[in-house]
Amino acid sequence: MRIVCIGGGPAGLYFGLLMKKENPAHQVTVIERNQPYDTFGWGVVFSDATMENMRAWDDVTAREIESAFNHWDDIEVLIKGRRMRTTGHGFVGIGRKKLLNILQARCEELGVELVFETEVDSDLEFPDADLIIASDGINSKIRNRYAEVFKPDMVMRPNRFIWLGSKKAFDAFTFDFRRTEHGWFQAHIYKFDEDTSTFIVETTEDVFKAHGLETADEQKSVAFCEELFSEVLDGAKLISNSRHLRGSAWLNFGRLICGKWSHFNGKSHVVLMGDAAHTAHFAIGSGTKLALEDAIELTRQFRNFGATPDKIPAVLDAYEEVRAVDVARIQNAARNAMEWFEVVGSRYADTLEPEQFMYSLLTRSQRISHENLRLRDKTWLENYERWFAARAGINIDPDGPPVPPMFTPYRVRGLRLENRIVMSPMAMYSSEDGVPNDFHLVHFGSRALGGAGLLFGEMTCVSPDARITPGCLGLWNDEQAAAWKRIVDFVHATTPAKFGLQLGHAGRKGSTRVAWEGIDQPLNDGNWPLISASALPYMASSQTPRAMTRADMDRVKADFVAAAERGAEIGFDILELHCAHGYLLSSFLSPLTNHRSDEYGGSHENNARYPLEVFRAVREVWPQDKPISVRLSCHDWTEGGNTPADAVIYAKLFKDAGADLIDCSSGQVSKDEKPIYGRLFQTPFSDKLRNEVGIATVAVGAISEADHANSIIAAGRADLCALARPHLADAAWTLHEAAKIGVKSIPWPKQYLSAKLQYEANLARAAAGPSPG
């Protein structure tokens, strides 16, 4: 085959040499506009997995790269006068120039034709080529020529960064955070050869502008950074080699995804590779790794299908299919890390203590978890666990085993929870006339015995017409109160768990069938009239509610107050006001469901006016030493609906009104929603609200392991973790998870003690693997 690579960066060179190595009969040319040794950038980092992959494909280059590598294990964080270090993080770095020189030399050795100092304008310059690799970097001319085919989606990110180097050899991957009179700057620093380090300085657009860096030339920018980071530089200079850049040396990162990666131009097949196809933010240093892995994958597909011109279309489809998934995974992790650095100043650096700040930094991509940190640096993690536990008020024996964050107690007002695990409210649709029965006693009783620190009852309705379904629980009469008291008393008398009451009104989502007979569908008969913020049905098949009048508001508020009073008498420990999921109070908060033109609609203040009125009335009758949490849908996942930025505004309003916690859920407001589900998918909302508003939060949604809960709580992304479905699957989720992570100090009910030892022994045996014979 005749192959032309346009652009001699890592992607073009590596693909060229791999294909030539596969079959020396291929004619391979790499065309590069720069001179052989004229290149930008400083050092690049790789993981062990990338190296292993490279070793399998061309051992010669892999060995050369490895011998030029600088390996380091430590991460050091400087902030607020503190210098903290952890080990076991295993990076390798190499200078970009060195890497390219190794690849160039290997290309020459294998017979790849290298053409330098030649600018390519179009793929049509190579009509004889069977395959053209567009490896011409992020500003790819070739990709831009066929933009309607490749559908590039480039998003320019808000932060500014400048890519510098230093002749100081840092012995750890160093993050230095500095506050100026205008805000925060951070430096990402890592050594890549004996005496040179990459030194990237990053800040937000407004801080960048406030310092006049917009008009500063390169020299001034470098001088500014040298002064700001003088302590860590310790007399060393910063160096710029961004002469190839036009305009400011400060860049915005552009996140690129392409809808399609290949195209037939009438003569040749053109395919994108490396930065021309996708970018990954430097926060996880994967741009070069992705470029090299693209080259490997395309070579692999030629090996699979056969490296002849007729196989090219199938090869390119397979290449795109495999790489798109991998790239999405890396971009996802890079996005978390990138966003962390975009908000780090005001969200974390200003608010978290240095120890917790460092934990948050280490887990920023959400790919490194608590147990993963334990594997990397047990001593550091255990010391952090002790620090965290001491903050939670536990007296820690410095020589004894530390207590993981989810098992530390939590205090709010007069409430003390034994641990941070919450059973999330879950409607069971199993009552008659709103009265809890034996099912509820067993349901809640067994979960209280199962170790959760706090149980929430399901949405408990404040009047008969506040119910979602005829099977929903209520608290509007004495019979219901007596039945609830039996359960709450059982939980208090038998277990250390605390019990929360979630009060709600279904609003426009009321008068429907129980879940297993047609969720959200109106009743076959016996429907009751609905009320909501506005007269908008939930679905086309739903009943249309009446927009609430002031008289409705007074009645419903009185119902909430009466239910709260009953709840206090019963002895519930915490009250949660259900303002989420499109139910009555939620319908006021979302612009999708609130179209009112009076003082209860139109702005955040107006939308929140009635929910806040209910909150204040309930707060007045609820005992002062007991907390109230508010459940919010922090994202409507629908065009025109609320986003986490709106949730921040609502959380502030509830905080000012006296709310103690925000329970951060999302969705179920509109049937048009397009939620992005996934592990811990709502935790970012909790993180945002907690650290931007300064209010305690509950994280919920696809949290399913102790490792998740520990990571969330340790990083300060939430104060409590709520789990719903995992508690249906396993009533003793908390006790079982404790055993799985080797925590033996969590008490089991005395009646079940003999099972604890057996359970732990079985886990230990399973972990040890099959016994011989």
Ligand X SMILES: Cc1cc2nc3c(=O)[nH]c(=O)nc-3n(C[C@H](O)[C@H](O)[C@H](O)COP(=O)(O)OP(=O)(O)OC[C@H]3O[C@@H](n4cnc5c(N)ncnc54)[C@H](O)[C@@H]3O)c2cc1C
Ligand Y SMILES: Cc1cc2nc3c(=O)[nH]c(=O)nc-3n(C[C@H](O)[C@H](O)[C@H](O)COP(=O)(O)O)c2cc1C
Q: Which two tokens stand for residue 529?
A: 């009239």
> Angle of helix 550-570 relative to helix 604-621, nearest 10 degrees?
40
| CB of 276 or CB of 579, closer to ligand Y | 579
Most distant CA pair in the chain, distance: 89
Could you say which of ligand X, ligand Y, none residue 34 binds, taking C-beta under 5 to 8 angstroms by partner kind?
ligand X
Could you say which of ligand X, ligand Y, none residue 120 binds, taking C-beta under 5 to 8 angstroms by partner kind?
ligand X
Q: Judged by CB under 6 A, does residue 17 bind ligand X? A: no
φ/ψ of residue 273, rounded to 5:
-150, 145
Q: Judged by CB under 6 A, does residue 702 bind ligand Y? A: yes
Q: Judged by CB under 6 A, does residue 462 bind ligand Y? A: no
Residue from 75, 164, 225, 291 binding ligand X (CB under 6 A)? 291
Residue from 285, 345, 434, 641 binding ligand X (CB under 6 A)? 285
- Lateral strand order in the sheet of 113-115: 113-115, 27-31, 2-6, 131-134, 269-272, 262-264
Considering 384, 410, 583, 610, which one is annotated as catalytic? 583
| CB of 34 or CB of 477, closer to ligand X | 34
> Angle of helix 287-305 relative to helix 312-343, nearest 10 degrees?
160
Residue from 15, 72, 126, 163 binding ligand X (CB under 6 A)? 163
| CB of 343 or CB of 724, closer to ligand Y | 724
Q: Are 667 and 581 in contact (CB under 8 A)?
A: yes
φ/ψ of residue 40, rounded to 5:
-100, 175
Tell me how far apart the alpha carbons of residues 323 and 328 are, in angstroms, rounded to a whole number.
8
Compose the 348-387 pattern: x for residues touching ligand X by CB under 6 A, - for all others.
Answer: ----------------------------------------
Minimum distance, C-beta of residue 21 to ligand Y, in the bound complex (Å): 49
Minimum distance, C-beta of residue 327 to ligand X, in the bound complex (Å): 12
287: closest CA among 138, 116, 479, 130?
138
CA Rg value for the chain: 30
Q: Judged by CB under 6 A, does residue 41 bind ligand Y? A: no
Q: Which two tokens stand for residue 85?
A: 């270090």
Measured CA distances, 402 to 289, 374, 383 (Å): 37, 12, 8
Could you say which of ligand Y, ligand X, none residue 407 binds, taking C-beta under 5 to 8 angstroms by partner kind?
none
Q: Judged by CB under 6 A, does residue 701 bind ligand Y? A: yes
| CB of 211 or CB of 498, closer to ligand Y | 498
Binding to ligand Y, residues 100-139 (CB under 6 A):
none
Binding segment (CB under 6 A) for ligand X, from list 268-276, 464-472, 567-575, 748-756: 268-276
Which residue is associated with the tokens 């060995």?
A: 63
The strand pair at 251-258 and 152-166 is best described as antiparallel
Q: Are 594 and 534 in contact (CB under 8 A)?
A: yes
Q: Judged by CB under 6 A, does residue 95 bind ligand X? A: no
End-to-end CA distance of the chain: 56
Measured CA distances, 215 to 159, 211, 212, 290, 765 (Å): 16, 9, 6, 34, 66
Tell me how far apart the alpha carbons of residues 556 and 560 are, in angstroms, rounded to a whole number.
6
Residue from 18, 664, 723, 746 binding ligand Y (CB under 6 A)? 723
**Cα three-residue angle 582-585-588, rounded to 5 degrees:** 80
583 is catalytic: yes
Q: Judged by CB under 6 A, does residue 137 bind ligand X? A: yes
Question: Left (φ > 0), alpha (ψ -120 to 50) or beta: where does 212 sit?
Answer: left
Minimum distance, C-beta of residue 583 to ligand Y, in the bound complex (Å): 8
Minimum distance, C-beta of residue 93 to ligand X, in the bound complex (Å): 8
Could you say which of ligand X, ligand Y, none residue 702 binds, taking C-beta under 5 to 8 angstroms by partner kind?
ligand Y
Q: Judged by CB under 6 A, does residue 40 bind ligand X? A: yes
Could you say which of ligand Y, ligand X, none residue 447 binds, taking C-beta under 5 to 8 angstroms by partner kind?
none
Compose the 656-695 pattern: x for residues touching ligand Y by CB under 6 A, - for all others.
Answer: ---------x------------------------------
Binding-site size, ligand X (CB under 6 A):
33
Q: Judged by CB under 6 A, does residue 425 bind ligand Y? A: yes
Q: Judged by CB under 6 A, does residue 534 bind ligand X? A: no
Binding segment (CB under 6 A) for ligand X, from list 33-41, 501-509, 617-625, 704-712: 33-41
Could you say which of ligand X, ligand Y, none residue 137 binds, taking C-beta under 5 to 8 angstroms by partner kind?
ligand X
123: closest CA among 53, 57, 31, 196?
31
Binding to ligand Y, residues 542-581 (CB under 6 A):
578, 580
Compose the 496-525 pattern: x for residues touching ligand Y by CB under 6 A, - for all others.
Answer: ------x-----------------------
Task: For residue 350, give every residue at least 6 positions away whose Cβ sits within 8 Å of its Cβ, in sequence order, or none.
Answer: 184
Q: Judged by CB under 6 A, does residue 459 bind ligand Y? A: yes
Measured CA distances, 181 to 22, 55, 185, 200, 208 (Å): 58, 49, 11, 21, 12
Which residue is associated with the tokens 């008498």?
A: 569
Tell me how far apart the alpha carbons of residues 673 and 518 are, in angstroms, rounded to a whole number.
19
Could you say which of ligand X, ligand Y, none residue 510 binds, taking C-beta under 5 to 8 angstroms by partner kind?
none
Type of residue found at 643? T
Q: Which two tokens stand for residue 469?
A: 């379904």
Could you say which of ligand X, ligand Y, none residue 339 binds, taking C-beta under 5 to 8 angstroms by partner kind?
none
Residues that bind ligand Y (CB under 6 A): 424-427, 458-459, 502, 578, 580, 631, 665, 700-703, 723-726
Active-site annotation, residues: 583
